[in-house]
Structure 1
Amino acid sequence: MKRWILAILTSLIVSASALAAIEVYDFDSPEQESQFQELSNTLRCPKCQNNTIADSNAALAQDLRHKVYEMTKQGQSKQEIIDYMTARYGDFITYNPPFTASTAILWLGPLAVLAIGFSVIVVRSRSKTTTGQGQQWDSAKEARLKALLEEAENGDKHK
């Protein structure tokens, strides 16, 4: 008898915790549900930074999902909801921020680094005036090299 009571209590506890984790949203039309799903998968969680609000379990993401749900139920358009979220959380909330003065460095920064790097490579390769490269090889230097080589060979034979 004790085993049966223990088994029933355990199954009730497990099933209650499984039901608590599921969020259920009821929509008036399939268009609203589609809009909610799309926005949930395109808005970024400000706390998690690389998760969408649909993927995140953070309390802030849950609040954002609920706000998107409320605004969708009120009949607001996708752009109105994105504008509201952007006004409140900044351009960071979207994965593709618009090109503005404040986000110009995000868009143009990598191009500027590439252009500067390429310019440095070109300038350095064209100016080969490092020490030793600008001097001409003449017969006096050739004679000096031969003398040093003969001296080195003679030095090795005497040892």
Structure 2
Amino acid sequence: MKCLIAALLSILALTATAHAQDSMPPAPYAYQQLDDPGQEEQAQALMETLRCLKCQSQSIADSDAPMAGDMRHQVRSRIAAGEEPEAIRAWLIDRYGDYVSYDPKISETTWPLFAIPLILALVAGLLLWRRIGRKKGAAT
């Protein structure tokens, strides 16, 4: 009985925490552009190349998810502080993983994503070549 009550209380606490995060006001730069047009252009270009982790199919520039707003705020505030876009990208990748970038780099963990399609295409081509070769040999 004590375990059931503890489980229910922890589920209630997690639900309340998740609801509190969604009801928090957005960060200042989530929906507000930078005053310097050059810096805003840099921020916008960078935000177009970063994936919203909640939406997964939109960039953080296009997403209305609270997490994307927080990421836009981070990008804009760091650019306003003078940080380079590539340094911000590296920080976000370190924090959220390679998935946050629409342009993932080949590394120890991502190389299979690039190699497997090539290997499958080569195997399919080899099988097709052998099948066509057998048909030509049987016809003659």
After TM superposition, the score normalised by the length of structure 1 is 0.61
* Pair 1:81-2:97 in alignment: no
* Pair 1:103-2:110 in alignment: yes
Tell me what 2:32 maps to: 24
Query: Per-residue displacement from partner, 1:56-97 (whole Å, max 9, x unpaired)?
Result: 011110110111111111110011100000001111111111
Higher relative contact order (CA closer than 8 Å, sequence separation 6+): 2
* Higher CA-based Rg: 1
Question: Once the two structures are aligned, what percentage of the paired residues are identical?
Answer: 35
* Cα pair 2:49 2:103 within 8 Å, conserved: no
Q: Distance in 1 between matches of 2:115 and 2:48?
A: 27
Aligned length: 108
User: Where in structure 2 are there 5+ consecutive unaligned residues?
Assistant: 1-29
* Pair 1:56-2:66 in alignment: no
The residue identity in structure 1 corresponding to 2:115 is L
* Pair 1:39-2:39 in alignment: no
User: Where in structure 1 are there 5+ consecutive unaligned residues?
Assistant: 1-21, 134-159
Instruction: Give the secondary structure class of the aligned counterpart of 1:67.
Output: helix
Q: Distance in 1 between matches of 2:62 and 2:107?
A: 28
After TM superposition, the score normalised by the length of structure 2 is 0.69
Q: Distance in 1 between matches of 2:123 and 2:112?
A: 15
Tell me what 2:131 maps to: 124
